[in-house]
A and B are shown apart, each in its own frame.
Chain A
Amino acid sequence: MSGVQVPQTPVLEVEDLRVRFQRRGEPATLAVDGVSFAVAPGETVGLVGESGCGKSVTSLATMGLLPKRGVQVSGSVRLDGQELLGAGDRTLRRLRGKDMAMVFQDPLSSLNPTVTIGVQVTEVLAAHRGMKGDAARTEAVDLLDRVGIPDPRRRLGEYPHQLSGGMRQRALIAMALACSPRLLIADEPTTALDVTIQAQILELLRDLVQGSGTALVMITHDLGVVAGLCDRVHVMYAGRIIETAERRDLFARPRHPYTGGLLHSVPRLDSGRGTPLTPIRGSARDTIPWAQGCAFAPRCDVAEDDCLVEVSGSEVELVPDGGTRELRCRHPLTPATQTAGAPS
């Protein structure tokens, strides 16, 4: 479970994934722009970034859950070597829930309010394991028990609004893990929860997923989640991966100014009262197309003219950065700027 990489055949391989949203009468939006990463069995990979950076679209594209109309997906997504992009609806449906599963952000709206928990859990068992009646009920009780829901037999007959937020998310995790999938994608699973519950849910995910060799993709904007759970982290910005590193390396030595900014913008208990927070300037909308230069340059404090294509003559590429790291930056942070606090 440590950060040490053991070479294994990856469960999930995403290569050069591009997702383009096309609306009538509007220019196309490239939500995901050439993203590549792989997840090994038992490994937890974090996709980190602000709202709108393409992390959720990446996960939906992986699961084949994007609408077909107005969306172009290209590249390659392989689950245990099987290509998912372009696979038929039926094939994908059989894989979803069985070999790959997903946990969403808001546990209340992800559960059907008019149907009992029991029906919703047994539905997955019926769809993939052909279980019905008493067998399915027994298995459902077992699943709820495993995710730490007290008195699972009674909970089966209850409706989602009768459960607490943490319990709802547990139930959803139980449903996602019902068929011991090879890959679990968790899209900000703790965002809608209390801080105390967040920790419990993360612990649960760690225990259940890593113990069984399931590959976990953790999509989050919360660096605390990354610190507690992920082996490897991909930081995304404007549809591209801008930095990849082992968790420890990333926290100790952020190289991309955006990563550094993210780390420094987390409020600290020990920074004393009245110390101003250090946000990253501007918003995710202050960006330029990658074809014209580094998308983060307008918000970057260390950007120079050669971050732009018209000056340097080439796009900023994702290049190896020592060890297992990769970086997309021409003016990375140095040990001096990494520790000195936010570049001001």
Chain B
Amino acid sequence: MSAPTAAPAAAPGGRRREKIDELAARAGALSAGAGGESLFRSAVRRLRRDPVAIIGAVIVVVFLVVAILAPFLAPRDPYAQTLLSEVRQGSIPGAREGFPLGVDQLGRDVLSRLIVGSRQSLVIGVVSTVLGAAVGMVLGILAGGLGGRVDTIVMRFVDILLSIPGLLMAISVSVLLGANQLSLMIAIAVTQVPVFARLLRGSMLVQRDSDYALAARALGVKRRKIVLGHVLPNSLSPVIVQATLSLATAIIEAAALSFLGLGDPDISRPEWGAMLASAQSVLSVRPELAVYPALCIIVVALGFTLLGESLREALDPKFRR
């Protein structure tokens, strides 16, 4: 803590002392430079050492880049029925020069449709997860922060939502709201709400009993400030992890809903789930047409899941290896 205040020694000892002081100063400078690191930075450091996290991150980054740059990356117009003349009953032309993955039964380039279709998955995944997380978190804060009767009412409501199977709920909501892009996102968001609400409430309840919350109370800090300023920030890391994992589920659910015809009413628009659905009718002729979009869905969902799982490990001190 305080610097040693030893009196300067006699001549021979004095030199030795100088050396020690110099070493001490150097060590001090070193440790000051390294400093401590924030929780977030140490999590990032652990993530970078985790091969699973790197695989997940690479998949996610490739997916993001493809989705954002889709119009420039797609080799052809995804709507143009270029090879329609060669499509016959029971025969669809396969891969060839200029069409690396072949064409679908309407003669459209599959690769271009997959690339452009990634945008739909990204938009639906992100918007519905953000929406679901936002509403779920508000409910979670109400329940976990106020407690008592509010907690009971909110959690029973959440229990009701949870008791309905996710896909069934999503189908009901999107049927109720009509088949379009927005209702699809709302439908998926509704299935995410209870998960986020429960998670945040549970983790806030734990933090509310923590020593620092008690210490803040002992200092006369207002309850609202304790809940929002102390309890909430410490309860967020499971929510962040869940959001990453939810993105994967949302992408799968979006595909499932548009497979069932509850997605975008414009069926010519490229979308992985819809591509899967339309490939169904020509499964015996060209099974690849179903395999490609399915693979895309699986790989992207896997990427988010891997990233989410390793994020959980990186953020949770109990998982530290």
Contact = CB atoms under 8 A, between A and B. Distances in A.
Contacts of A106: 211
Interface residues of A, number: 39
Q: Which of B1, B218, B221 has the most CB atoms of chain A within a 10 A radius of its CB?
A: B218
Contacts of A262: none
Nearest to A196: B1
B211 A104 contact: yes
B212 A96 contact: no
Contacts of B220: 93-98, 124, 127-128
Interface string B130-150: 000000000000000000000
A64 to B, nearest CB: 9
B218 A97 contact: yes
Contacts of B211: 104, 106, 109-110
Contact of A96 (B36, B38, B218, B234): B218
A178 B225 CA distance: 18
Interface residues of B, number: 22
Looking at B38, B216, B217, B222, the one whose CB has the most chain A CB atoms below 10 A away is B216
A114 B203 CA distance: 15
B176 interface: no
B39 A114 contact: yes
A93 B39 CA distance: 31
Nearest to B211: A109
A152 to B, nearest CB: 14
A146 to B, nearest CB: 15
Contacts of A79: none
B36 A159 contact: yes
A314 to B, nearest CB: 39
A110 B212 contact: yes
Contacts of B6: none
Interface string B197-235: 000000000000011101111111110010001100110
6 contacts: A97-B218, A102-B215, A109-B211, A124-B221, A128-B220, A175-B219
Interface of B: 1, 35-36, 38-39, 210-212, 214-222, 225, 229-230, 233-234
